[in-house]
């Protein structure tokens, strides 16, 4: 056999055995291959039109959820998902949401604000409480958004909640019964883009009110000197500042950050803010334990060394919650079967119970794999230790089967 033919035959054989050795998942394909194929062949975008009575755009797939805006009759919406009779959509007009003023500044263009931080949450109410459930999408430093109103113009802008119009990339929920399919021959993508341009041109310009306190934005030094000011509006944001300050120190002292996270948990024991606070407290506990073990004798015994390595591994996993990769998923971790339910575990902690009501995925086939998921939160984490429950709409396999974490 010629060398070139032999190389080709070897490649074909290796490829065949590699595919044969892969575990079977949905439709007989390995989840890694299925995920890659899904990324290479994205589903065609779907569009609907709002019925004559108009439709409320909500922050959650629930009839009792907070209304963000009302879509006018005939508005074309892009559909991103569906759950329990509701469509996850984006609107060419965006939606009205609240952000904390500390993370925005006036733009050079009248009536516009510029976002000054990354991962800024958009909320349905001027509050960071558990009832003000934030949208999954966030704003990024440099984004420009249209100003609508101040919650309390007597406060400095950095201490107030600001109502804005979100970018059109923000998702909301609408009752499927309030929409209808586009007529034959209508191009939803073209209609959406045209409406986006028209609405942007027609948008009313609202100037920011110039109060005495608003005219003198607080300097960064003042904010650091008076962290309690941010606490009144965004306690979790204040705790994050204290955490970052401790991490930047040569000799980290997490006392203030720990107290701030505990205070946030006491005020709001459930919801997304509580979950973030719990994760940070777990990280602080691991960091303090590692520091204590090193101070006691730099791990004199083999048992101490093993325990130190275990804690360091837990800390690495906990720290990944701050990694950019986490922005892609609602939850991430190793899937386990716990009796008749499926749970996600990360850093030795049970972080979520997951279901797939649409029967799109057979969860049993993903047990033992590290996955990233998105979906609808059907139950918040409870004070009794009950994890958040997520109805999955998408699974991405991140690494192959291994020992359960």
**What's the pLDDT score for residue 26?**
44
Low-confidence winner among 99-108, 264-273, 317-326, 385-394 (lowest mean pLDDT): 317-326
* DSSP 8-state class, residue 322: G
Look at the domain 44-94+169-202 and name its fold. SH3 type barrels. (2.30.30)
Give the pLDDT score at 157.
85
Residues 265-313: tens digit of each pLDDT: 777 776 666 777 777 888 888 778 777 766 665 545 556 666 666 666 6
More reliable by pLDDT, 368 or 50: 50
pTM metric for this prediction: 0.46
Bridge partners of 349?
346
Instruction: Report pLDDT digits (tens) over 310-325.
Output: 666 666 555 555 554 4
Has residue 42 got a pLDDT over 60?
no
Write down the domain spans for the chain.
44-94+169-202, 96-165+204-216, 234-322, 327-399
The CA-to-CA distance between both ends of the chain, in Å, stands at: 49
Show Cβ contacts of residue 74 under 8 Å, excluding neighbours closer than 6 positions: 49, 50, 52
The answer, yes or no, to whether residue 40 has pLDDT greater than 60, is no
**Percentage of the chain lying above the pLDDT 90 cut:** 14
pLDDT bracket for residue 232 (50, 70, 90) = very low
Specify the higher pLDDT residue, 391 or 347: 391
Give per-residue pLDDT as tens, 142-165: 888 989 888 888 888 888 899 999
pLDDT of residue 72 exceeding 50? yes
Nearest to 213 by CA among 255, 158, 251: 158
Rounded mean pLDDT of 108-126? 87
**Where residue 11 falls among pLDDT bands split at 50, 70, 90?**
very low
Average pLDDT of the chain to the nearest whole number: 75
Q: Which fold has domain 327-399?
A: OB fold (Dihydrolipoamide Acetyltransferase, E2P) (2.40.50)
CA pair distance 172, 394, nearest whole angstrom: 18
* Cβ-contact 81, 109 below 8 angstroms: no
Same fold, 44-94+169-202 and 327-399: no
What are the angstrom distances between the C-alpha of 224 and each of 186, 216, 218, 228, 238? 54, 16, 10, 9, 10
**How far, in Å, are 19, 27, 38, 168 from residue 42 at the CA level?**
23, 18, 6, 20
- What token pair was written down for 353? 């119970």
- Looking at residue 23, what DSSP letter applies? P
Secondary structure of residue 14 in the 3-state scheme: helix
Per-residue confidence band for 379, with pLDDT thresholds at 50, 70 and 90: confident
- Which residues in 30-69 are b (16+ Cβ under 10 Å) and which e? bbbebbeeeeeeeeeebbbbbbeeebbbbbbbeeebbebb
State the average pLDDT over residues 390-404. 73
């Amino acid at each position: 056999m010629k060398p070139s033919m032999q190389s080709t035959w070897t490649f074909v054989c290796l490829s065949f055995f590699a595919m044969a050795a892969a575990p079977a998942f949905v439709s007989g394909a390995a989840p890694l291959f299925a995920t890659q194929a899904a990324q290479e062949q994205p589903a065609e975008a779907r569009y609907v039109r709002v019925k004559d009575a108009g439709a409320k755009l909500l922050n959650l797939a629930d009839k009792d959820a907070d209304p963000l805006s009302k879509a006018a009759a005939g508005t074309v919406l892009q559909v991103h998902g569906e759950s329990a009779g509701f469509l996850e959509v984006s609107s060419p007009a965006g939606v009205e949401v609240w952000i904390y003023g500390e993370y925005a500044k006036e733009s050079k263009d009248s009536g516009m604000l510029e976002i000054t931080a990354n991962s800024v949450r958009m909320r349905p109410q001027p509050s960071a409480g558990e009832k003000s459930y934030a949208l999954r999408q966030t704003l990024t430093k440099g984004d420009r958004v249209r100003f609508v109103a101040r919650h309390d113009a007597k406060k400095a802008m950095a201490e107030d909640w600001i109502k804005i119009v979100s970018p059109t990339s923000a998702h909301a929920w609408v009752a499927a019964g309030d929409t209808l399919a586009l007529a034959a021959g209508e191009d939803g993508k073209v209609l959406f883009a045209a409406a986006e341009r028209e609405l942007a041109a027609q948008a009313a310009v609202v100037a920011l009110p110039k109060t005495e306190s608003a005219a003198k934005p607080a300097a960064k030094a003042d904010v650091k000197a008076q962290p309690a000011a941010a606490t009144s509006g965004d306690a979790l944001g204040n705790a994050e500042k204290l955490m970052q300050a401790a991490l930047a120190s040569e000799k980290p002292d997490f006392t203030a950050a720990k107290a701030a996270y505990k205070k946030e948990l006491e005020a709001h024991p459930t919801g997304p803010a509580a979950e973030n606070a719990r994760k940070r407290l777990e990280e602080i506990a691991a960091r303090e334990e590692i520091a204590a073990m090193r101070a006691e004798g730099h791990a004199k015994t083999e048992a101490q060394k093993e325990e130190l390595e275990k804690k360091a591994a837990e800390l690495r996993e906990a720290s990944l919650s701050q990694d950019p990769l986490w922005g892609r998923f609602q939850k991430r971790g190793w899937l386990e079967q716990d009796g008749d339910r499926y749970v996600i575990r990360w850093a030795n902690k049970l972080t979520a119970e997951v279901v797939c009501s649409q029967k799109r995925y057979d969860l049993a086939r993903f047990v033992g794999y590290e996955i990233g998921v998105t979906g609808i939160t059907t139950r918040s984490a409870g004070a009794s230790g009950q994890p958040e429950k997520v109805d999955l709409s998408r699974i991405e396999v991140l690494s192959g089967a291994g020992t359960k974490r």
